[in-house]
Amino acid sequence: MIRVLIADDEVMIRSAVAALLSLEDDIEVVAECADGAQAVVMAEKLKPDICLLDLEMPELDGVQVADRLRTTLTATRCVVVTRHARPGVLRRALASGVSGFLPKSRSANEIAEVIRRVMAGARYVDPEIAADALSDERSPLTERELDVLRAGRRGEATSQIARSLSLAPGTVRNYISAILAKLNVATRQQAVLLAEERGWI
């Protein structure tokens, strides 16, 4: 029996998927969670075989949940489902150890089949999402510029970024100016959001 935890903040979708998966002879839904933080707590408590995670949830998104569980539950595999499959997010998901990535438009039978494949040790990525990811643009930013964005992604002050990267504040300001120009955005926060959306950081 494959033990599955489902996390999705949309109650109707979560309940419907849980009910349909429970009809499968070899799948048991052991928990339903309304947000990412709850998913981490319940997964660490119940140690399911598979976590079926919505990408966009409060507290922690599906990829962040997978990233946390990768270090605490090495035997648990994560499958992320999403309504808006942006190619950059796929790269972030794969880097976080996600074993499956598919759109919410797939049927319960297809989701069950992906769960079985992942349980057997395979990795599944929806073909359309994979094709989009291959054609998606690469980051125009240098590695150091990406480091600056990562260090300041939560709104840290320039002086904090400088300390964490062992740079002078003036150097950090120069990097930020270059980043804004390359990405054609007005603020550092906009740059962070764009870079996260495209999977660059």
Q: What is the pLDDT of residue 177?
A: 95
- Say yes or no: 90 and 181 in one domain: no
Q: What is the pLDDT of residue 128?
A: 78
- The one-character DSSP state at 172 is H
Q: What are phi and psi of 81, to 5 degrees?
A: -115, 145
Distance CA 115, CA 52 (A): 8
- Say yes or no: 71 and 20 in one domain: yes
Distance CA 201, CA 180 (A): 15
- Say yes or no: 69 and 98 in one domain: yes
- Say yes or no: 116 and 52 in one domain: yes
Alpha helix (H) residue ranges in 73-183 = 87-95, 108-119, 127-135, 143-151, 158-165, 169-183
- Say yes or no: 16 and 104 in one domain: yes
- Say yes or no: 121 and 192 in one domain: no
Q: Domain holding 49: CATH number? A: 3.40.50.2300
Domain boundary among 81, 109, 134: 134
Query: Which letter, b or e, does each residue of 37-61 get, where b requires 16 or more Cβ atoms within 10 Å of its Cβ?
Result: bbbbebbeeeebbbbbbbbebeebb
Q: What is the pLDDT of residue 145?
A: 93
- Say yes or no: 126 and 67 in one domain: yes
- Say yes or no: 108 and 159 in one domain: no
Q: How many domains, in total, are found in the chain?
A: 2
Strand order in the sheet with 124-125: 27-33, 2-7, 50-54, 77-82, 100-103, 124-125
- Say yes or no: 69 and 99 in one domain: yes
Distance CA 3, CA 5 (A): 7
Residue with tokens 């740059």: 191
Q: What is the pTM of this model?
A: 0.69
**In this structure, are residues 21 and 111 in contact, taking their beta carbons and an 8 Å threshold?**
yes
Element (H, E) at 6: strand 2-7
- Say yes or no: 147 and 187 in one domain: yes
- Say yes or no: 128 and 150 in one domain: no
DSSP annotation string for 9-31:
S-HHHHHHHHHHHHTSTTEEEEE
Q: Domain holding 187: CATH number? A: 1.10.10.10
The boundaries of the domain holding residue 157 are 143-197
Domain boundary among 100, 134, 168: 134
Look at residue 179 and give its three-state secondary structure. Answer: helix
Per-residue pLDDT of the chain (201 residues), as tens digits, is: 999 999 999 999 999 999 999 999 999 999 999 999 999 999 999 999 999 999 988 888 999 999 999 989 989 999 999 876 666 778 788 888 899 999 888 898 999 999 999 999 999 998 877 876 666 667 789 989 999 998 998 889 999 999 999 999 999 999 999 999 999 999 999 999 888 877 787
- Say yes or no: 37 and 81 in one domain: yes
